Amino acid sequence: MAILNRRLCLQTLAAGAFPGAASALDWSQWRGPARNGISSETGWKAAWGAGGPPKLWSAQVGEGWSAPAVAGNRLYTMGNQGNQDTVYCLDADTGRVVWKQSYPCSAGDYGGPRSSPVLEGCRVYTLSREGFAGCLDAAGGRVLWSRHLQREARAEIPRWGFAGSPLVLGNQVLYNVGTAGISLAKANGEVQWISGPRAAGYASPVPFTAAGKSGVALFVAFGIVAIEPATGKPLWQHPWETSYDVNAADPVFSGDSVFITSGYNRGGALLRLSGGRPQVVWENKNIRSHFASPVLLGEGIYGNDDGRLTCLNVKSGNRSWEMRGIGKGGLMAAGGKLLVLTERGELVAAEARTDRYVELARGQVLRGTCWTHPVLANGRVYCRSHEGELVCLNVKG
């Protein structure tokens, strides 16, 4: 069986369906190739009517907030039905279920998985809201290994469950579980290090190089902490208290600085990383992102300020413009444009410019509650609702 699965994986790689032979236009992990919400895709069509771009297919994948991961003609996501999580592999061309793998997991408040699958080589890495980590064969869905990280670390479960997507880095997989993360060996799931039992934040681990240091940043319950990935040793940290410990939007790095933001009227700050200790450059309430991670393009930080799409100048923190009405929707960027999925299921395209807001298109593509950012991959946009509808839209230029 192992030999058969290996052959199948190699055949699929040869066909370009997985990251090992992936197109540069794939979106094989949370927030895209560089985990910054930006795609290198250009030439996609940012013009459509009130009904949105042409719909190629739709599928039901269960309750949840898991964003799709796409490589070639395969799409992976997660959902919950009847207190059971399911990892889905769909045909990206048709929406047909290729395989699915399920395990028991309570849906919790605002039900379903919060994290997104991550593709690396022939494997898919996942994390449930209860802290169950899995590694699956991407071709057939066979479970290669699994760990219950919450039990391993005896970690406190955050109020709304674990939400950070796994980060594959070298030979390890890192998770925002516990005080400042957990690391497993990606090959067999063996524990490499555990940071401690305190409650985690809701953001995903972010790799960075800044001020001559490389590491991984985690937005945890008490603030932002940078760790040495091989050992878990802290490199630096900065306190950032929010209501209910909801630090959920990913940190965004800009040169030797990092931008952090939280909701509940907390706001955001730019921290300069020098001398081994972060220094506050500016702090204000111009972006208060509940959990939608911002995008940095040039000198513009584009993010969700308590329901308004907002652009800030990264150097000053001053607001350049805002557009109301996106609720808790998410965003990404590609080809100098922004793609936004509003909480009400409208897909919006806008110019990524710092002087003024220029909308290019807007259309209703989903019903229900839409808090998951849209995904652009290979001329298609994928959008999902919490209720479990996943749609594939054609934006090929």
pLDDT given at position 126 = 98
User: What would the CATH number be for the domain defined by 27-394?
Assistant: 2.130.10.10
Using 50, 70 and 90 to split pLDDT, how confident is the model at 212?
confident
Q: What is the 3-state secondary structure (H, E, C) of the chain?
A: CHHHHHHHHHHHHHCCCCHHHCCCCCECCCCCCCCCCEECCCCCCCCCCCCCCCEEEEEECCECCCCCEEECCEEEEEEECCCEEEEEEEECCCCCEEEEEEEECCCCCCCCCCCCCEEECCEEEEECCCCEEEEEECCCCCEEEEEEHHHHHCCCCCCCCCCCCCEEECCEEEECCCCCCEEEECCCCCEEEECCCCCCCCCCCEEEEECCEEEEEEEECCEEEEECCCCCCEEEEEECCCHHHCCCCCCEEECCEEEEEECCCCEEEEEEEECCEEEEEEEECCCCCCCCCCEEECCEEEEEECCEEEEEECCCCCEEEEEECCCCCEEEEECCEEEEECCCCEEEEEECCCCCCCEEEEEECCCCCCCCCCEEECCEEEEECCCCEEEEEECCC
pLDDT given at position 308 = 98
**289-307: per-residue pLDDT in tens?**
999 999 999 999 999 999 9
Using 50, 70 and 90 to split pLDDT, how confident is the model at 275?
confident
pLDDT given at position 13 = 42
17 pLDDT higher than 60:
no
Using 50, 70 and 90 to split pLDDT, how confident is the model at 185?
very high
Using 50, 70 and 90 to split pLDDT, how confident is the model at 10?
very low
pLDDT given at position 22 = 54
**348-377: per-residue pLDDT in tens?**
999 999 999 999 999 999 999 999 999 999
